[in-house]
Structure 1
Amino acid sequence: MRLVPRSLLFVVVVLGAALAGALGYQAWEDSRPETRPELTLPDLQDRERSLAEWDGKLIALNFWATWCPPCVEEMPLFQALQDEYGDQGLQFIGVAVDRPDAVAEFIEEHDIRYPILYGRQAAMSAGQDFGNQAGTLPWTVIIDQQGHIRHVFDREVKREQIEPVIRELL
């Protein structure tokens, strides 16, 4: 019986992993809706807020949590971008997958002034509606003024990644 050389086995495994990754990415792309789904969650004053309130604006919808270090890291950037581009039609909206008391304390401590909605399971379900099947945090969706999902950031985002997208769509 002849054994398969290790180098050939290695190549087969690598190619198999690449194919699985490509198919997984395609499944993710296929699960992402083209137009924004409906979203209604409470804000920190327990008022039900609908994403439709911000129709006509360029929306950066960020799913995050206070216990998520990359989420916490990008929040000051989002507030700075809101301050810089808000008068041009940009609206950041945070969706906290967290307890309202933890979120309220966090946003006060970090001077976050854009709208924050919250929920636990409802927020995770909303993330899935926007294509986040794995429940990854942070997850930021850019929605144009006509309600089309134009870009998704599936991890912590840096200024040099998100700002060109915002500028192009404003």
Structure 2
Amino acid sequence: MNRGPLWWSLIVLIVLLVGVTIGIGSHTWYSNLEGSQRPVFTLPAMSSGKQKSIAEWDGKLVVLNFWATWCEPCRREIPLLITLQRQYEERGLQVLGVAIDSRVAIRDFAATLSINYPVLYGVEAAMDVAASYGDEQGTLPYTVVIDRSGRIRQVFRKELKRPDIEPVIRELL
């Protein structure tokens, strides 16, 4: 049976429709995450290697940012996170990075950029934490804003831009 270009176009269209349907379904699932209590987790800190719990920042507005050194959009948004930490720290903001990478890779990278907020790290464990916060596809960068009472208020599944995140921070501080 000879399958011409029309046949293959139909197959591609079906695959695309299935992909879009899955994407829409996962978007709905993510939307349900907002308003829920944040999951508790512990990961090692880049600075000391000691385990740190997200609970250490209870009572603060937490911008939880999942990233990796090999992720170009992640690298581009880190200067914004550094600025936000500096600008809003005294009002109760805490940026918290979770690097899905090795300690050596992030330590050198963080030193180069002078990251001014805590960075936790791991590979499989960090991916599990990201999944517990709704990032089951492993999208990077991925950022979750957690209010002072520990509720997830906003999820960003893309590179952060100041006009998107700053109004959220101002409203919750």
Query: Is the shorter-chain TM-score for this pair beyond 0.5, marking a shared fold?
Result: yes
Q: What residue identity is the alignment partner of 1:29?
A: S
> CA separation of 1:105/1:151 partners in 2, compared to 1, >3 Å: closer, same or farther?
same
- Determine helix, strand or coil for the equivalent of 1:94: strand
Q: Which residue of 1 aligns with 2:151?
A: 148
- SS of 2:166's equivalent in the other structure is helix
Q: Encode CA deviations 1:66-95: one digit per residue, 9 max, x unaligned.
A: 000000000000000000000000000000
Deviations 1:121-170 (A, max 9, x none): 00000000001110100000000000000000001010000000000000
Distance 1:77 1:52 in 2: 24
Q: Which amino acid aligns with 2:81?
A: F
Query: 2:112 & 2:19 partners in 1: Cα distance?
Result: 44
Alignment of 1:93-108 (within 5 A): 93-108=96-111
Secondary structure, aligned partner of 1:136: coil
2:25 partner amino acid: L
Secondary structure at the counterpart of residue 94 of structure 2:
strand
TM-aligned CA deviation for residue 53 of structure 1:
0.4
- Identify if the C-alpha distance between structure 1 residues 125 and 167 changes in structure 2 by more than 3 Å, giving closer, same or farther: same
Mapped contact 1:94–1:115 kept (Cα < 8 A): yes
Identity percentage over the alignment? Answer: 47
Mapping 1:42-61, distance limit 5 Å: 42-44=44-46, 45-61=48-64
Equivalent residue letter for 2:167 = P
TM-score between the two structures when normalised by the length of structure 2:
0.85
Does the CA contact (< 8 Å) of 2:34 and 2:151 recur in 1? no
| Kept in 1: contact 2:33–2:152 (CA 8 A) | no
Q: CA deviation at 1:62?
A: 0.3
Offset at residue 27 of structure 1 (A): 3.0
Aligned: 1:71 with 2:74: yes
TM (norm. structure 1) is: 0.87
How far residue 49 of structure 1 moved from its aligned partner, in angstroms, is: 0.4
Please, which of 11, 28, 31 is the counterpart of residue 26 of structure 1?
A: 28
The correspondence for 1:167, drawn from 150, 165, 170, is 170
Matched, 1:41 2:55: no
State the match for 2:65 in structure 1: 62
**2:35–2:153 contact (8 Å) kept in structure 1:** no
Q: Is the 8 A contact 1:33 1:131 kept in 2?
A: no
Structure 1 vs Structure 2 CA RMSD: 2.1
Q: Return 5+ residue gaps in structure 1 as ranges.
A: 1-8
Inter-partner Cα distance in structure 1 for 2:52 and 2:93? 18
Q: Which amino acid aligns with 1:107?
A: A
TM-superposed deviation, 1:39: 1.2
Runs of 4+ in 1 over 6 A off after TM superposition: 12-18
Would the aligned equivalents of 2:41 and 2:53 in 1 still touch at CA under 8 Å? Answer: yes
